[in-house]
A and B are shown apart, each in its own frame.
Chain A
Amino acid sequence: MARYILRRLLQAIPTVFGISILTFLLVHIAPGDPITAMLPDYASPEDIARLKAAWGLDRPLHIQYWTYLVRLVHGDWGTSIRTGRPVLEEIFTRFPATIELAISALCLAVVFGITAGTIAGVRRGSTSDYLTMMFSILWVAMPSFVLALLLQLLFANKASLPVFAFAPSSGRAGAPLSLPWLKSIALPAFTLGARASAILARLTRSSLLEVLRLDYVRTARAKGLSEWKVTVKHGLRNALIPVITVLGLQLGGLLGGAFIVETIFAWPGVGRLGVTAVFNRDLPMIQGTVLLVSLIFVFINLLVDLSYSLLDPKVKYS
C-alpha cells in the first residue's frame, strides 16, 4: 500500500511539471504582460522597462522558467507581481475559506444526493423516484448564479421578506461551526452543493439499479437477509464505486475555486484569485493557482483510488 502511494506520488511529478510548463508558455503566448497590465496606460516606456527589469521579465524565457523551477523546488512559489506578496501566502490566506465551502457543499451533496438516489433506485417508478429525478434535472440545469440569486431573494432579503431572512446577503461571519458561520455559509454551500447532489443522485440511482439486478444480490435475498441489508450492505456499497469516482472529481472542482458562487456571496476563497491573475497576466500568481489546483486533483484522485479498496475487497494495491 505504502509503495503504491509512493509510486503514485512519483508519477504525479511529470504531470505537474508538464502542467507548469504549459501554463508558463500559454501565459507568454497570450498578448499583454504583467507590467503593462499593471501600470497605468499612460506609463512611459522607461517606466515599463524599469519595472520589467526589476521583476526579471526582460530575461530569456528559458531562464525565467528555470529560475521559477529552482525556487519552486526550494518551496518558494514566487511573488505576485500585482500585490508584491508571496504567492503561497496569498493562496493560503484564502484557502481555508474555500475548503470550508467545498467540504460543506460536498457534505450536503453526499447526504442529499446519495440518499435521494438510493430511495429513487430502490423505489424505481414511484412518485419519489420521479420527483427526485425531476429535481436533479432542475439542479443540474439551473446555472448557479440563478440559484444563488433566488436563494438570496428568499432567505437574505431583510427589506422585503424579513420573515425568511435568516442569512446575510454575503460574506463569511464568525468562527467555523459557530451559529453566525453556519448562517453565512448556508446559502453558498447549498448553491454549490445543489449541482453536485443532483449529479450524485442520478448516478447513485442508475448504479444501484444495475447492481440490484446482479446475481449476488439475488443470492443475498435468497439467504433471507432483510431488504435493508440487501440494499445497503450488498447493493449500495458496490454501487458507490462509480459514485466515489465522480465525487472525487466534484470535490476537485469545488476546491479548485467556485468562482461564481464565491463572487456572488463574497465568500473570501481562492476562486477569484486565479481569474483576476489571468486578467492581470500576473504570471507567478497564475502559476501558483494552477499548480495548487493540479496538486489537488492529483491528491484527490489518489484518495479516490485508495477508497476503492475499502468499498470493494476485490480491489487491492501493492
Chain B
Amino acid sequence: MNILHNRLHRLTASIAILTLSLLAGCSTKSADQPSAPAAQVKKGGSFTYAYNSDPTSLDPQKTPSTTTVHDLIYDTLFIRTPDRDYAPNLVDTYSLSDDGKVLDMKLKQGIKFHDGEPFNAESVKFTFDRAVDKDTKSPQSGGMLAGYEKTEIVGEYEVKVYFTAPQATIFYNLSQTFLAPLPPKAVKDKGDNFGREPVGTGPYKFVKWQANDSIVLEKNPDWKLAPKWADNKGPMYFDQIVFKYIPDENTQVMALQNGEIDILGVPGQQLDAVKKNPDYNFVESTAANLVYLGINSKKAPFNDERVRQAIASTIDRDEIVKNALFDQGVANWTLLSPAIWGYDPGLKDKAWPLDLAKGAQLLTEAGFKKNASGKWEKDGKVLTFEIMTYTTQPYPRVAEVVQSQIAKLGIDVKIKTLDSATLLAATPKGEHDAILIAYGWSDPDILFNFLHSSRLASSNRVLYVDKDLDALLEKGRTTVDLKARFAVYQEAQARILQKAPWVPLYTGKGVTAIRKDIKGIKTGPNGELYLYDAYKDVK
C-alpha cells in the first residue's frame, strides 16, 4: 500500500516508499481489532516497518513526499478525522473569517518540541514564513500555502494567518505533515542537517538514520495529542519504531515471515502466497488515487470532443480491474477516488458508458468513415494513436487492455512505455496523443492543476481549455462552505466526464499484512492505520 506519497506513479517506480502511513488517504474494508482492556496491554518493545528507499529529507519542507517517519515525528495543526472531516490537533480553538481569508488559531499550551523548545505562536509563524521563503527551495510545502500573505502573532499562543484569496483547502493543507510546525531554534542551529536530525512535537522522537539501512525512532513520553477516537489517551505503547531498509519485494515478504518486520504493504505479485499464511491479519484499503486515460485535446483529431467521447465509449472498466489488476482496484467512473471527500458515485450517469454503437455514431458525426479494412478514416488519414504510459506495472498491463478495448471500435492504438521523468517532460510540448497515468491526492482542488487552462504547458497534460470548467475549478478553491463546494465539484466532474479530456479508469487497492502478535491497530475509513492503541503481544 504505497499511498502515502502524493506522486503515485513514482511509488511503483522506486522512490522513497515506506509501506504505510499513519495518515494515508484511503478507505478500508476491515474489522478493527478489538482494543484490549488496559491491563492486558503490553507496553514497550518495538514495531518494525520495511521501506524501499531512503526518504529524501526528514525536513517536511524539503521533501517532495512525506512518509510514516515524518508523520510520527511531527504533529499537524489539524487532523483528518475518521469521518473525513478535520479536527483541531495542535490547535485548541480556531475561526476562519467569512471571506475565508483570515484564519485565527489559538494553540494548545504546554506542548514542547523534542529538544525542549516550546511550541507557540512564534513557531507557527516561523514554519509558514519558512515554507514560502524562496531560499527554503521547498518542493511541496510552499505551494500548499499559495496566497499566503503573513502570520501575525496575537499572543504567545495565538496567531492570525492572512491570505490574499479565500482558502477552501486550508484545513486539508494544515492536516498534512508538509506544514507541520517546526522548532525555530533547532532549524536555525542545525541548518541543512535538520533534514537528517529532525525535531518535532510528534509521538516519536528521532534517534538515528543510517543511509540505506534503517531509521530508528523512540517514544516521546510527553506526547498527549491522542485524538478522540483513540482509547489510549497517553503516549503510544511501543518504545521504539524501526524502519528497515528492504528494497526487494521478495525479501520484504521473507522478512515478514521471519518476524524481522511486523507490517508490510503486500506487493501485488506476492498477494496470493501471502494471503494463505495464517500468521497475518489483513487490512484492505482503497487508495486516494485515480488512474486515467488523458487525451490531448488540442491535437487533431482529438480536438473534436466527439472523437474523445467515442474513445471513452469503448472503455470497459470492469474488464480492466479483472484482467489487468487481478481485482487489486475498483472501477471508477468519476474524477475522484472513493476514498476522498468529493467522491460521488452518482456521477456514473454522466460518464460515457461502454457502447460501441454510440462510439461509431460519434465518429461518423465527426466526419470519419470506415475504410475497406474496417478502420476509421477522414481526409485520407486513418484514425490511430499512441498511448504513453509508465514502464512499471500495472500501467503497461492496463494500457494493453485499454488498447484491445479501443481496437474493438476499429481504432489501432500503439503503446509507448517511458520512465516517469521522460514521460512528464514530453507532454508540455503537446505532441503526444494520449497518456495513461495516475494522480494521488486527497482534495478535489487537485483537478485545478490538471485541467485549468492556466496550467497549459505544465501540469495540464491534456492541453484542455474550457472557460466554463475554469470558472468551476476557480470557484471550488474559494468556496468555503462544504455543501456548496461539493456541488461545485459535482458540476465540474460532470463537465469533464462529458467532454472527455480525461477518461477515468480505476482507483488502486492495497493490502497490508500485519503479524498476528501485533494487537490493537485500528483502521480509519480512509485507510489510516492508527497506532495509538497498538502493542506487541509477546508471549
Contact = CB atoms under 8 A, between A and B. Distances in A.
Interface of A: 30-33, 36-45, 47-48, 50-51, 54-55, 82-85, 90, 93-94, 97, 149, 152, 156-160, 165, 168-172, 263-269, 272, 276, 279-281
A287 to B, nearest CB: 17
Contacts of B137: 51, 54-55, 84
Interface in B408-429: 419-422, 424-426
Interface stretch (B116-124, B243-251, B311-319): B243-251
8 contacts: A42-B439, A43-B139, A45-B455, A55-B137, A85-B192, A168-B260, A170-B254, A280-B421
Given A38-B56, A276-B14, 11 more contacts: A37-B424, A39-B64, A40-B6, A44-B143, A54-B135, A93-B210, A94-B211, A158-B258, A171-B213, A265-B248, A268-B210
A44 B421 contact: no
Contacts of A281: 421
A276 B10 CA distance: 12
A43 B143 contact: yes
Nearest to A79: B192
Nearest to B211: A93
Contact of B248 (A30, A31, A37, A264): A264
Interface in B47-102: 53-54, 56-57, 62, 64
A266 B244 CA distance: 9
Nearest to B257: A159
Contacts of A170: 244, 246, 248, 251, 254-255, 260
B260 A31 contact: no
Nearest to B62: A84
B142 interface: yes
Nearest to A271: B212
Contact of A31 (B258, B421, B457): B421
A266 B14 contact: no
Contact of B140 (A40, A94, A149): A40
B7 A45 contact: no
A31 B426 contact: yes
A33 B425 contact: yes
Contact of B421 (A32, A149, A171, A269): A32
| Main SS class of interface, A | loop
Contact of B424 (A32, A152, A263, A266): A32
Contacts of A84: 56-57, 62, 137, 192, 195
Interface in B151-182: none
A36 B420 CA distance: 10
A41 B7 contact: yes
Contact of B139 (A51, A156, A264, A266): A51
A193 to B, nearest CB: 19
Given A36-B424, A171-B245, A45 B458 contact: yes
Contact of B420 (A37, A158, A159, A269): A37
A95 to B, nearest CB: 10
B56 A83 contact: yes
A158 B259 contact: yes
Nearest to B427: A41
A74 to B, nearest CB: 19
B15 interface: yes
Given A85-B192, A276-B15, A42 B258 contact: no
Contact of A279 (B14, B139, B247, B424): B14
Contact of B449 (A44, A82, A265): A44
A83 B15 CA distance: 12
Q: Could you say which of A42, A152, A263, A265 has the most chain B C-beta atoms within 10 Å of its C-beta?
A: A42
List the 10 closest pairs (A to B, CB-CB), nearest first: A32-B421, A42-B449, A268-B212, A32-B425, A268-B213, A37-B421, A159-B257, A31-B425, A158-B258, A45-B458
Interface string B9-31: 10001110000000000000000
B441 interface: yes
B395 interface: no
B421 A263 contact: no
A169 B9 CA distance: 28
A176 B446 CA distance: 49
Contacts of B333: none
Interface residues of B, number: 58
A47 B214 CA distance: 32
A37 B15 CA distance: 11
A45 B455 CA distance: 7
Interface in B436-495: 437, 439, 441, 446, 449-450, 455, 457-459, 461
A139 B53 CA distance: 29
B250 A41 contact: no
A42 B257 contact: no
A318 to B, nearest CB: 44
Nearest to A81: B137
B421 A39 contact: no
A265 B211 contact: no
B196 interface: yes
B134 interface: yes
Contacts of B255: 169-170
A168 B137 CA distance: 40
Contacts of A54: 134-135, 137
Nearest to A265: B251
Interface string B236-268: 000000001111101100110111100000000
A83 B57 contact: yes
Given A41-B7, A268-B211, A269-B212, A156 B421 contact: no
B254 A156 contact: yes
B257 A158 contact: yes
B254 to A, nearest CB: 4
A78 to B, nearest CB: 14
Nearest to B255: A169
Contacts of B257: 157-160
A227 to B, nearest CB: 47
Contact of A149 (B134, B142, B250, B450): B250
Contacts of B254: 152, 156-157, 169-170
Contact of B458 (A30, A44, A90, A266): A44
A120 B259 CA distance: 44
Contacts of A55: 137
Q: Could you say which of B419, B450, B457 has the most chain A C-beta atoms within 10 Å of its C-beta?
A: B419
A12 to B, nearest CB: 29
Contacts of B421: 31-33, 36-37, 279-281
A97 B259 CA distance: 25
Given A83-B56, A158-B257, A169-B254, A268 B64 contact: no
A224 B262 CA distance: 67
A55 B136 CA distance: 11
A38 B246 contact: no
Q: Could you say which of B135, B140, B213 has the most chain A C-beta atoms within 10 Å of its C-beta?
A: B213
